[in-house]
Amino acid sequence: MIPQVLEKEILKLKKSLNAVILAHYYQESEIQDLADFVGDSLDLSRKAASTDADVIVFCGVHFMAETAKILNPNKPVLLPDLLAGCSLSDGCPPHLFKKFREEHPNHVAITYINCSAEVKALSDIICTSSSAEKIINQIPKDQPILFSPDKNLGAYLKKKTGRDMLLWNGSCIVHETFSERKLIGLQLEHPDAELIAHPECEDHLLSKAKFIGSTSALLKYVQTSERKKFIVATEAGILHQMETTTKGKTFLPLPPEENCACNECPHMKRNTMEKLYLCMKHKSPQIEMNADLLQRALKPIQRMLEMS
Ligand code: 13P
Ligand code: SF4
């Protein structure tokens, strides 16, 4: 199907299903353009919690759609490609996370939303990159904390909050590929450009950034800054909103070390317009979870929504 027809068919299906299309900033630009709402993980969870649509179509990765399902157990939640995973989630299997918790029984477990529903169910509070600092600051100072699964975000939060948290050893395959060597090259070529970064990046990059924040925070920063040029250290999909919502500003994606497209998340990019159309047409694939897991994973997500 040609792109214009595909878009028309998706919008028709959206109407007939009374569906809402939620998309993350790392989705391809065509998907972002037709979504009802584009946001970061926290905004998307909030939208999923408050929607009155009959069907939720989630253009993001599996843990995001799963969170929408946990918040809406009675609604179908469609994900264009069920294999759209996340290296952080994959690197934190529930049985090992359970062991980690058992080894530290006095610690409260604050877990980044980039994890499976089973790991959420084993956690006390879920957080996103935009809510983590606020949540950690509400935990009594004498209460030890386990932070999982992103060691880079965890290390950044330790510095920001002054809390000595125990960290799970996980990372994002995209945010770990950025090249410091190429950053220096870009900075020499564009001395007027400011480096902005997602906190999933490694410390050596974060320490050079002028601004650090979630995808939404990065977008807001470039929209309101006086600066005209930015080097962006996060998944390249965010550049679409940066370019379309600002005027006369230049955005340079920070390249990975290798000559590859590794600054694009291969999981996020599994979703395509074609798959979006097909999942809405067939009401499949859907997120399926058993009632017990739905219930157990809900509490720590609700805590996040209350505390953020
Ligand atoms: P945000 O919450 O900043 O959108 O991050 C989601 C994510 O997966 C980053 O890699
Ligand atoms: Fe997971 Fe990284 Fe992709 Fe975000 S960019 S979904 S953290 S693999």
Task: Give yes or no on whether 88-172+297-307 and 180-253 have one common fold.
Answer: yes
Does residue 236 have its Cβ closer than 6 Å to ligand 1?
Answer: no
- What's the farthest any 2 CA atoms get from each other in the chain? 59
The domain segmentation of the chain, as residue ranges, is: 3-84+268-289, 88-172+297-307, 180-253
* Closest approach atom of ligand 2 to CA 265: 3
Amino acid at 18: N
Banded pLDDT at 86 (limits 50, 70, 90)? very high
Class (C level, CATH) for 180-253: alpha beta
Banded pLDDT at 3 (limits 50, 70, 90)? confident
115-131 pLDDT, tens per residue? 999 999 999 999 999 99
Does residue 173 have its Cβ closer than 6 Å to ligand 2?
Answer: yes
8 Å CB contact between 104 and 146 = yes
Q: Is a pLDDT exceeding 90 seen at residue 151?
A: yes
* C-alpha to C-alpha distance for 303 and 151, rounded to whole angstroms: 22
Q: Is a pLDDT exceeding 90 seen at residue 18?
A: yes
263-300 pLDDT, tens per residue? 999 999 999 999 999 999 999 999 999 999 999 999 99
Q: Is a pLDDT exceeding 90 seen at residue 233?
A: yes
Banded pLDDT at 2 (limits 50, 70, 90)? confident
Counting every residue written for the chain, the total comes to: 308
8 Å CB contact between 63 and 287 = no
Q: Give phi and psi for 21, each to the nearest 5.
A: -105, 115
Q: Which CATH architecture has domain 88-172+297-307?
A: 3-Layer(aba) Sandwich (3.40)
Does residue 172 have its Cβ closer than 6 Å to ligand 2?
Answer: yes
Q: Which two tokens stand for residue 241?
A: 């909103």
Q: Which CATH number fits domain 3-84+268-289: 3.40.50.2020, 3.40.50.10800, 3.40.50.300, 3.40.250.10?
A: 3.40.50.10800
pTM for the structure as a whole? 0.96
